[in-house]
Homo-oligomer: A and B are copies of this chain.
Amino acid sequence: MGYRENPRPGGRSARVQAAVHQSVRDMLATMDRADITIPMIAQRANVTPSTIYRRWGDLQELLADVAASRLRPEAEPAKVGSPREDLEAWAEQYADEMASGVGRQMLRDILSASDVANAEKCSGYTQQQLAVFIARAKEQGEAFPTLTELMDHVISPVIYRILFDQAPGPDYVRKLVAKVMPEGTLKS
């Protein structure tokens, strides 16, 4: 009697999931998160509350699921210049998105759920994106930081600040990138 992780596309289960996700996104856009309840989500999605309870367990799990699916990158990072420049542009946008009200909420939703799967998924997405820059740099023979260095010294500080402190400022990210680039790699 378990629910499939990935419902077959086109099936009823997939339709319900889509309707519920959509309903949650609508509500997040229009009202305060503290006022959102499962019965309300259910009504807007035209399903019964018990469907949601059985499938997701509670509001936190549902919100985490929705947040993680919104965080999935839609495309490869843009290629506009050198790998370093691409990384800088991407990181800046990443920081902005995460620091925005919506992004911040999504991060919290993901971390609040008792199930760790969504947090890992989210970190995995970021690593995938970073891996693209690393591959490009390698291809072009450009010196570049490792994945671990990028995660530890660019992503982590940005996320920490967003979660605990204040949003990272505009050139803060640029400085982090500069610091992590290998010696002798100067910005053009």
Chain A residues near B (Cβ < 8 Å)? 33-34, 60, 108, 111-112, 114, 119-120, 122-123, 151-153, 155-157, 159-161, 163-165, 176
Contact = CB atoms under 8 A, between A and B. Distances in A.
A44 to B, nearest CB: 22
A152 B153 contact: yes
Contacts of A161: 156
18 contacts: A60-B112, A111-B111, A111-B112, A112-B112, A119-B163, A119-B165, A122-B164, A123-B164, A123-B165, A151-B157, A151-B160, A152-B156, A152-B157, A155-B160, A156-B156, A156-B157, A156-B159, A163-B163
A33 B112 CA distance: 12
A165 B151 CA distance: 11
Contacts of A159: 156, 160
Contact of A164 (B112, B119, B157, B176): B119
Interface SS of A by simple majority: helix
Q: How many copies does the complex hold?
A: 2
Contacts of A111: 108, 111-112, 163
Contacts of A120: 164-165
Chain B CB within 10 A, most for which of A111, A161, A163: A163
Given A152-B153, A156-B160, A160-B159, A112 B108 contact: yes
Contacts of A160: 151-152, 155-156, 159-160
Nearest to A172: B152
A160 B165 CA distance: 14
B114 A34 contact: yes
A62 to B, nearest CB: 14
